[in-house]
Every structure is written in structure tokens, then in C-alpha cells.
Structure 1
């Protein structure tokens, strides 16, 4: 009798349900690659309740100062009748379901035309990034993400991608038509465009920034 009861309980026991996937707010999406969301670095901390959305989106003091100095540098060194700069993680629409963010992107004014209040949809001439803001869990490591994003931007038509890595005091440069991409110390001159040469250490030193 007892054995029959146990069998009856087993027969009526409901199967375990798989846990429901956690809904991730769209505010945590940094970019979209081939229809797949790329989230902000630290998004898991937001889901766990240990950080806020604002905390993971904010940059460090050094990152903020470098972006500020780059803005000033480009403003004074570019021909502003011909070129303009998209900043503040401006969106770049590469193709359907493919959108990336850029810290600074230099555009030809003639190609932009009238602004529409949407992502840029024409290729910038040069993109400048400061560190990596994406969660790279699906890429294996940060270098894989960096290389793939640089290639996407170059394939879209950009002439140059410059990536400043503050932790290592390095600058990564990828150029259109060049098979060999380079990494140099940030105290070395880096060509942005014709007649526009950038040196990160010089920018910081001229402003007497202690880092």
C-alpha cells in the first residue's frame, strides 16, 4: 500500500519549470550587432541591484577629461567649414539591426546634409574612442571586441579608427587599406587627418592634468 502511495505521488508530481529569463531593460543596450544587443559594461550589476544605470554609463575622471580635451583639440585643428564632430556616444547606423556608438566621430559636412534627429547614417572619416564601454562577455576579451568594432567601422567607409586605452596609456590605430594595425604609447604623435596630429600626453601636460 505504501509503495502504491509513493508511485501515485511520483505520477502526480508536476515537472519542474525552467526559470524565466530575466528581462533586460533597453536602457542597458549600448550597441546592436546583427540584431543582437551589446550591453553596457556592468549591466549585470544593475540587474543584481548593486549599481544603478547611471553608475555604469558614467565615465571615469580621466576618461571625461580626455574626451573634453579631444573636443577642444579637434575644434581648433579642423576646418570647421568642411568638417564637424559627433560626440557624446553619437549613434552610427551601419545597416539594418547594426548600430554602434562613437565617443567622437569626424564627418564631412557635405555628406551629412540636413540633420534628422536620428543616428548618423553616413560614414565618418575618423572615429576616436576612449576605452571600452561594452560588456565583452560574448567576445571572449576586450581586444576581440575592439578589433571587430574597428573593422565594422572601417568596412562602413571610415578612413581611420583611433582607440585610446587609458589603463595602459596606449593608442590603437586601424587604417583603411592597411593590413597591419598598430598600438603605440600615448606620448607618440598619431595622425588624425591631414595637418591634424594628436598626442594624448601633450594634451594632458599642456592642461597640467595630474594623472
Structure 2
């Protein structure tokens, strides 16, 4: 199925907070990148907090490569690089990996996606958790619920410490398991992160 591309000039964002320090907005609230205070105080440069760790980058690359080889790419579009999702006013989220159904009439633009992916995959928490009620787990649950309400069918979180994988859907109980669990992703595609890492000779 063909996907159209339509680009238009972007307007400059007006904000009192540097845009590069805002990771997402959730329920109208800006969520700042982990470590942003050190940037504001001059202790760190923006590049020191914006990039992924080597472990996070490897996991995104490995999972993306696995899915690229196994999903039906005639039917689905696979996106990565913190792809933005515009849910509504005050809700702009990002996904480390997202799988979209091409049948919904995707149009690629220079703005965020405005339709829900079928599957959203996240690697770790990238916001400053100390400022969120419930800290990391509170953020994970709040973002997951918002994505599911938007129409995402499956949300998968890969947590590097401790090594856990959390899967949430709209129709089944939410489950937290170890990395050696085999979890469904899409159609008949499943993911076993431990087996994938072992295949790549990566110790964990």
C-alpha cells in the first residue's frame, strides 16, 4: 500500500522553556528530559542528556532490526528515532519504536504522527522522574494509559534496570516479566529479548 508524503513549512515554537529540554507533553504538562537541571545550571551540555546510552541505543537498534525482518512491511510501517505522536492539545508523546497499520491512510509530513500506532515500544524512562507523581512507575503507567486510550493496541516497555519487560494491552491484564519471556508483538510475531541478545553474543 502506498503512503503519501506531504511537507509544509513549520512555524517557530514560542516557549519560555528551551524546546530541547522538553521530551514530551502529557495531559498538558511538559515533561523535561532526565538531567535537565544540570543543563540549566551549566553543569552539563545539552548533548550529555539528550542522547541515548549505548545500551539503550543498542536495544532500539536490535529490536528495530528484528521487527524489520519479521513484520509484514507491505501491511505495516515501522518507525523509530523517538517518533512523535500528537494525540490532542497538550498531549505530544514519543515512541522509541512504533508500528503503524498502512490501511489507516497514513500521510507522512514534517509534523508528528496524528494517528495511533498499533504497537508502541519504549526503552527506559527518558524524563526527569523525580518531578512526576509516582516517579518512574507513575510515568510509565500514565503514558501507557494515554497511549491505549488514543487507540494503541499494545504498549511494550523494555526496562534495563532491573531487566524487565512490561506489556500492556486494552484487552488483557498488564504483565511485567523478565527479559527471557516470549511476548507477542503483532500478528504472529513474538519477541524474546534474552534470546535476541544471546544470538548477538551480548551478555546481560
Asked if Structure 1 and Structure 2 have the same fold, meaning a TM-score greater than 0.5 normalized by the shorter chain, the answer is yes
Deviation at 1:153, TM superposition (A): 0.3
Deviation at 1:166, TM superposition (A): 0.7
| RMSD of Structure 2 on Structure 1 (CA) | 1.2
In structure 1, distance between residues paired with 2:118 and 2:48: 31
Q: Which has the higher contact order (CA 8 A, sep 6+)?
A: 2
- Distance of aligned partners of 1:112 and 1:186 in 2 relative to their CA distance in 1, 3 Å threshold: farther
Q: Which runs of 5+ in 2 are unaligned?
A: 1-15
In structure 2, distance between residues paired with 1:34 and 1:158: 17
Report the equivalent of 2:66.
Answer: 73
Report the equivalent of 2:121.
Answer: 128
1:87-126 equivalences under 5 Å are: 87-126=80-119
Q: Which has the larger radius of gyration?
A: 1
Report the equivalent of 2:201.
Answer: 208
Deviation at 1:138, TM superposition (A): 2.7
List structure 1 segments (4+ residues) > 4 angstroms apart after TM superposition: none
Over residues 144-175 of structure 1, what are the superposed CA-to-partner deviations in whole Å (9 max), with x where a residue is unaligned? 00000000000001111000001111101111
- Equivalent pairs counted in the alignment come to 188
In structure 2, distance between residues paired with 1:63 and 1:34: 26
Over residues 29-76 of structure 1, what are the superposed CA-to-partner deviations in whole Å (9 max), with x where a residue is unaligned? 000123321111110111111111111111111111111101111101
Q: Which runs of 5+ in 1 are unaligned?
A: 1-22
- Please point out which of 19, 27, 52 is paired with 1:34: 27
Does 2:187 correspond to 1:160? Answer: no
SS in 1 for 2:94: strand
Deviation at 1:112, TM superposition (A): 4.3
- Distance of aligned partners of 1:48 and 1:140 in 2 relative to their CA distance in 1, 3 Å threshold: farther
SS in 2 for 1:146: helix
Report the equivalent of 2:3.
Answer: none
Q: Is the 8 A contact 1:24 1:47 kept in 2?
A: no
- TM-score, structure 2 normalization: 0.88
- Please point out which of 141, 157, 180 is paired with 1:187: 180
Report the equivalent of 1:59.
Answer: 52
